[in-house]
């Protein structure tokens, strides 16, 4: 029963996805004034999770083509939201990046909370409840 805890795996994947998205957002913010830079974003966690669990091909070794850590999306596609392109071709909007950063923060905290309560449940099941 304990060798494949879905809740913990999902929480792990959510935390990984949140931090990957965080670094994409940080890259956008850093390039807020770079001419010609296109903002990029990761697909939502629900899509990534579906794709990785519903019979998609998975890399089992780091050397495999398209290898991704479980649940984490390596693909950072171009941001699809309607951009506010500046005359120099930059599509980063600092405001929407801040909104996304808050979302990511929330997701990350949620993943940590889930992981911690899952481990509490396991501890209780083992008779070491606090």
94 versus 125: smaller Cβ distance to another protein: 94
- Tokens at 97, concatenated: 């990046």
* 47 lines the binding site for another protein (CB under 8 A): no
* 72 lines the binding site for another protein (CB under 8 A): yes
* 85 lines the binding site for another protein (CB under 8 A): no
* 43 lines the binding site for another protein (CB under 8 A): no
Distance in angstroms (rounded) separating the CA atoms of residues 93 and 97: 6
Name the burial class of residue 129, with classes exposed (0-12), middle (13-18) and buried (19+) by CB atoms within 10 angstroms of its CB. Answer: exposed
Distance in angstroms (rounded) separating the CA atoms of residues 128 and 37: 53
* 25 lines the binding site for another protein (CB under 8 A): yes
Q: What are the angstrom distances between the C-alpha of 23 and each of 11, 97, 119, 127?
A: 19, 11, 27, 40
Q: Are strands 40-41 and 77-78 parallel, antiparallel or unpaired?
A: antiparallel
Minimum distance of another protein from residue 66's CB (angstroms):
10
- Tokens at 111, concatenated: 């993943």
Task: For residue 38, give the DSSP letter.
Answer: P
Task: Select the residue interacting with another protein from 7, 57, 78, 94 (CB under 8 A).
Answer: 94
Q: Which stretch binds another protein (CB under 8 A): 1-9, 11-19, 49-57, 78-86?
A: 11-19
Under the rule (CB under 8 A), what is the footprint of another protein?
Answer: 15-16, 18-20, 22-23, 25-27, 29-35, 37, 59, 62, 67-69, 72-76, 94, 97-98, 101, 105, 108-109, 112, 115-116
């Amino acid at each position: 029963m304990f060798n494949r805890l879905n809740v913990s795996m999902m929480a792990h994947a959510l935390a990984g996805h949140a931090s990957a998205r965080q670094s994409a957002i940080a890259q956008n913010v850093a390039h807020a004034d770079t001419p010609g830079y296109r903002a990029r974003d990761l697909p939502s966690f629900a899509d990534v999770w579906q794709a990785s669990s519903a019979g998609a091909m998975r890399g089992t070794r780091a050397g495999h083509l398209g290898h991704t850590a479980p649940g984490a999306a390596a693909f950072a596609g171009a941001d699809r939201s309607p951009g506010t392109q500046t005359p120099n071709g930059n599509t980063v909007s600092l405001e929407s990046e801040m909104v996304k950063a808050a979302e990511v923060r929330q997701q990350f905290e949620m993943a940590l909370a889930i992981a911690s309560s899952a481990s509490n449940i396991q501890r209780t099941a083992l008779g070491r409840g606090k």
